[in-house]
Structure 1
């Protein structure tokens, strides 16, 4: 497990943001991703299962974001937004905005989405933010094998987060339970 010292800084000094992957191939990253685990956030508490994000290029050259899930009432909850790349060196630090969502409705803004780890074949991704408050395990498929989960747990710790903060996300064709990632 990650310890506090993994992200600790001297008193009064800011903690450095997690490192992005060295290079994000946007063409390979675009498409649909299943959320297989996440640090619970207010905006995803309505989601009971089958949470997905679909990324595509929009006409302005930004990334369109379409998030969708099935709610506890068995209805669809979805939202559309835009992502802009803030880091041209790696392409892995972005600002994601959603119109009408307080604090997230500006098209440009500070980084709030960092791809910190990727499977070598882009089969999975780990995403967090500069303060490590959020976290998402994304996969191209609704299920991962044990070796992939072990790599993801190690990536979470490398990013300075605790695997127990991540809860599995029920996905049709994958896990059906909600459990801390440290116990699975």
Structure 2
């Protein structure tokens, strides 16, 4: 991947999550606090993006994944990958570091693609078995529905969309990710 593409992707991921002046639509004016605590060890591993609010930094991304692993210093290594324009398109990846927010029971992380600048990452809801998660941040401009598998039944997908709606999100703004 070209260096300029990496810079654009990582800059977008960071700024999209923490820039209150951007012109992205707000899909939830009252983002709730996370519903459950998160055991970091159980959250680690690979996640597949089932749907998201479209953001400039992810435009054209398909087959989106995020891999979380523990670093020797106790922080979390994050590798976000997408395929450009189709599930078989060229891969783009960006690496970040995430730190749990003290007092959040593991449900809030601060993520940085360019330290020392951090953005918010909130696990708003999750399955008891960590098979799915709904992730957002305080501005209400970003939302991701994640799963441990790239393909879920239509029934399961609709249940997750309804859970997001129950958290106050405008689900008509969701863009389903292709795999």
Normalised to the residue count of structure 1, the TM-score between the two structures is 0.75
In the alignment, is residue 85 of structure 1 matched against residue 100 of structure 2?
A: yes
Report deviation, 1:121: 1.6
In the alignment, is residue 113 of structure 1 matched against residue 127 of structure 2?
A: no
Unaligned runs of 5+ in 1: 1-6, 9-14, 100-104, 172-184
Which of 54, 65, 76 aligns to 1:40? It is 54
In the alignment, is residue 65 of structure 1 matched against residue 78 of structure 2?
A: yes
Query: Does the aligned pair in 1 maintain the 2:36–2:125 contact within 8 Å?
Result: no
Q: Write out per-residue CA displacement over residues 40-65 of structure 1, whole angstroms, 9 at most, x where no aligned residue.
A: 11111141x21100000111111110
Q: Write out per-residue CA displacement over residues 10-41 of structure 1, whole angstroms, 9 at most, x where no aligned residue.
A: xxxxx5x4221321011111000011100011
The root-mean-square deviation of aligned C-alpha atoms, in Å, is: 2.0
Query: Does the aligned pair in 2 maintain the 1:56–1:65 contact within 8 Å?
Result: yes
Structure 2: distance between partners of 1:67 and 1:89: 23
What corresponds to 1:11 in structure 2?
none
Q: 1:69 to 1:89 in 2, by over 3 A?
A: closer
Question: Whose strand proportion is higher, 1 or 2?
Answer: 2
What corresponds to 2:41 in structure 1?
27
Normalised to the residue count of structure 2, the TM-score between the two structures is 0.77
Report deviation, 1:87: 3.9
What corresponds to 1:75 in structure 2?
90
Where 2:63 maps in the other structure, the secondary structure is: strand
Report deviation, 1:70: 1.1
Query: Does the aligned pair in 1 maintain the 2:77–2:97 contact within 8 Å?
Result: yes
What corresponds to 2:176 in structure 1?
168
Query: Does the aligned pair in 2 maintain the 1:18–1:132 contact within 8 Å?
Result: no
Question: Whose helix proportion is higher, 1 or 2?
Answer: 2
Where has structure 1 moved over 4 Å in runs of 4 or more?
A: none
Structure 1: distance between partners of 2:71 and 2:167: 30
Unaligned runs of 5+ in 2: 1-27
Bigger CA radius of gyration: 1
Structure 2: distance between partners of 1:30 and 1:88: 19
